[in-house]
């Protein structure tokens, strides 16, 4: 039997943000959706959503344990891992993933065919999936990313965990070693330590979350050292099982650790290298699919091919992928009226303890670019609600253009940082000067947002 070839108006590879593209306006188009794993992509299944559903109970425990400084003491928590997992996966994540696939395969979307398997190019606008070739007038590549496993760890006989399976452990490890000190590592350090595990973090550099503004780096690492066994400037040299079945880690400083589980959280890499992009006439840049300002792929065979999310964007965040999907959706529907990808600053949050959020340039980055800036630092503990919380560490740090007082960076560490930063994201995105931002609206007293207000006022006065 020869190779089957089926032609479509549109092929979408990946069911994360890419799956949001076909709506009722695409009902007259033949569409193929290709998914190698579970419907819903990284965010739904192993990323943003389930991790935050683990973070929330961890944060509840943290608040209870930290309440002693407020004159309130709770009994030690009892953690039911099976119940947490049931709430996260059986009650929410797994039904949504299964329902999304059933919907696309069902009678409600008869114009859509679903292919389960890995897609790779075998020609221009031609993909092979499980031995079947499919072609299309338009292709959207939303194939996501995967965890990075350092070579020395991948070559070892030890089974290690990543964010893709750590949340489905049968039992909580007594001692969890986390390799890496980025946002994934720090979120899981918070989760597992508050659920009752002893946590050791191996940071290759001299600080965790070192991409942050220096003000936040210092404060966060101070908090991290108080919560977890932080090992800085080390890497894993060797991994093996000992005679008791425990994992033995030999580190680059010759020290040895014994662990029940090892979580590797050393970053994620674009799946662009798994698409055989060259066969499709597509160009890569720094390991990602190269796209233009409209989301169109670049290369001699790139006509009609688009890319979004982790496969093409160095900013591996769900809200960035969703924004790109909306733009590409419009461009597919209205090719004569194309819209460029959103270039507004992309905020990010780390749901660790303390919580962190940032957008734009750090002070160090701004000065390295030779920009004339002003900065302001506001202690969250110095506003009224900060007093109520007895907050000791939280801070709002702003970086603005000196001539215009328009923000070029905002950084928050402390309670509800991911929420507090949003008005600053708005001000930055729309070029609102800080004097107007601070003085041109009412700020609720004594809400925590007064820390944002006061930081903006300091910026104007500075």
Note every long-range contact of 429-437, with CB atoms under 8 Å and residues 24 or more positions apart, other chains counting: 429/344, 429/345, 431/406, 432/406, 433/404, 433/405, 433/406, 434/398, 434/400, 434/405, 434/406, 434/407, 434/459, 434/460, 435/405, 435/460
> Pick the catalytic residue: 175, 319, 353, 445?
445
User: 445 an active-site residue?
Assistant: yes
Looking at the DSSP assignment, which residues form a beta bridge with residue 306? 140, 296
Residue 454 is classified by DSSP as: H
Q: CA 384 to CA 70: how far, in whole Å? A: 15
Residue 163 near residue 184, CB atoms below 8 Å? yes
What are the backbone angles phi and psi of residue 360, rounded to the nearest 5°? 80, -160
Structure tokens at 284: 């890569």
Strands lying side by side in the sheet with 229-232 = 229-232, 198-203, 175-179, 261-264
Q: Do residues 259 and 156 make contact, with C-beta atoms less than 8 angstroms apart?
A: no
Query: Half-sphere exposure (CA, 13 Å, Cβ side) for 99?
Result: 8
Question: Comparing C-alpha atoms, which of 114, 132, 130 is closest to residue 11?
Answer: 114
CA distance 202 to 208: 9
Radius of gyration of the chain (CA): 24
Eight-class DSSP state of 51? H
- Three-class DSSP category at 19: helix
Residue 79 has φ and ψ, to the nearest 5°, of -100, 125
Cβ–Cβ under 8 Å, residues 238 and 227: no
Tell me the catalytic residues: 445
């Amino acid at each position: 039997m020869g190779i089957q070839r089926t032609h479509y108006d549109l092929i979408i590879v990946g069911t994360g943000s890419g799956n949001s593209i076909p709506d009722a306006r695409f009902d007259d188009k033949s569409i193929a959706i290709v998914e190698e794993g579970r419907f819903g992509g990284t965010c739904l299944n192993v990323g943003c959503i389930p991790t935050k559903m683990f973070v929330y109970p961890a944060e509840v425990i943290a608040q209870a344990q930290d309440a002693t400084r407020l004159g309130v003491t709770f009994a030690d928590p009892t953690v039911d891992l099976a119940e947490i997992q049931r709430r996260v996966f059986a009650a929410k994540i797994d039904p949504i993933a299964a329902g999304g696939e059933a919907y696309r395969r069902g009678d409600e979307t008869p114009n859509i065919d679903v292919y389960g398997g890995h897609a790779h190019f075998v020609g221009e606008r031609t993909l092979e999936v499980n031995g079947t070739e499919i072609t299309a007038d338009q292709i959207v590549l939303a194939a996501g990313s995967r965890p990075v496993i350092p070579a020395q760890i991948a070559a070892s006989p030890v089974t290690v965990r990543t964010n893709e399976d750590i949340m489905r452990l049968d039992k909580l490890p007594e001692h969890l070693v986390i390799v890496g000190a980025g946002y994934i590592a720090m979120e899981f350090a918070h989760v597992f330590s508050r659920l009752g595990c002893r946590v050791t973090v191996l940071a290759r550099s001299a600080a965790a979350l070192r991409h942050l503004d220096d003000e936040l780096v210092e404060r966060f690492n101070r908090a991290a050292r108080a919560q977890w066994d932080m090992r800085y400037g080390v890497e894993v040299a060797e991994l093996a099982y000992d005679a008791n079945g425990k994992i033995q880690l030999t580190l680059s400083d010759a020290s040895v650790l014994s662990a029940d589980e090892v979580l590797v959280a050393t970053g994620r890499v674009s799946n662009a290298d798994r698409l055989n992009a060259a066969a499709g006439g597509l160009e890569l840049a720094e390991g990602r699919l190269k796209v233009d300002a409209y989301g169109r792929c670049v290369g001699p065979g790139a006509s009609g091919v688009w890319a979004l999310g982790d496969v093409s964007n160095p900013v591996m965040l769900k809200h960035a992928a969703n924004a790109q999907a909306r733009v590409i959706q419009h461009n597919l529907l209205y090719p004569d009226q194309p819209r460029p990808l959103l270039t507004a600053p992309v905020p990010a949050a780390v749901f660790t303890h303390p919580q962190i959020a940032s957008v734009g340039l750090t002070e160090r980055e701004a000065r390295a670019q030779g920009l004339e800036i002003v900065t302001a630092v506001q202690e969250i503990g110095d506003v009224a609600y900060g007093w109520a919380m007895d907050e000791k560490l939280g801070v709002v740090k702003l970086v603005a253009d000196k001539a215009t007082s328009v923000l070029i960076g905002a950084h928050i560490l402390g309670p509800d940082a991911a929420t507090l930063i949003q008005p600053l994201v708005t001000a930055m995105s729309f070029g609102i000067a800080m004097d107007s931002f601070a003085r041109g609206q009412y700020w609720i007293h004594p809400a925590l947002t007064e820390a944002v207000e006061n930081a903006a006022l300091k910026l104007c006065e500075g």
